[in-house]
A = this chain, B = another copy of it.
Amino acid sequence: MNKPCNQHIAESKEQLKAGSLKITSARLTLLDILKHAKKPLSIKEISLRLGEVDLVTLYRNVESLQNLGIVKQINLKDRQAYYELSGGEHHHHLICTNCGKLEDVQVEEIKLNKTFLKNHGFAKVTDHSLEFFGICKNCDR
């Protein structure tokens, strides 16, 4: 298995302790990968960087980190899920339906005009999806 770089290890250990998760190198490296990622990663992509950690362990670990609110799951038109750190600036995503290229978009920038497109190296935005998730009154009781 690959080793995490030193930069974020202390912080990662803190986060795991705070969530009463055991500190394992699979988790430290996973956190390290996500902390260095410039875009949401699929399980496969994480796995490639992670080395010889079982996929099952990886699935279980991203789930634990999701439950702690450290990691966020992204759902695209793709059949697979993507993961990113949930801290950091609030943003959305811009995805090329042809090649899958993905860019982060800040909220203030969300104006579907030519400037917006130019800034992000996109020729056109053909579609978008906006979903709200919450708890309905029935489930809130």
Task: Give residues in A with beta carbon < 8 Å to B.
Answer: 73-77, 92-99, 101, 105, 110, 112, 117, 121-140
C-alpha gap A105/B134 in the complex (Å): 13
Q: Chain B residues with Cβ under 8 A from A126's Cβ? A: 133-135
Q: Chain B residues with Cβ under 8 A from A130's Cβ? A: 92-93, 110, 128-131
**CB-based closest 5 A-B pairs:** A123-B140, A125-B134, A98-B139, A96-B136, A92-B130
C-alpha gap A76/B73 in the complex (Å): 11
Does B128 lie within 8 Å of A132, measured CB to CB? yes
> What are 24 residue pairs bridging A and B, where the CB atoms are less than 8 Å apart in the complex?
A74-B129, A75-B75, A76-B131, A92-B129, A92-B132, A93-B132, A95-B134, A96-B133, A96-B134, A96-B139, A99-B138, A99-B139, A117-B134, A122-B136, A122-B137, A123-B135, A124-B134, A124-B135, A124-B140, A125-B132, A125-B133, A127-B134, A128-B130, A129-B131
Q: Chain B residues with Cβ under 8 A from A122's Cβ? A: 134-137
Q: Chain B residues with Cβ under 8 A from A74's Cβ? A: 129, 131
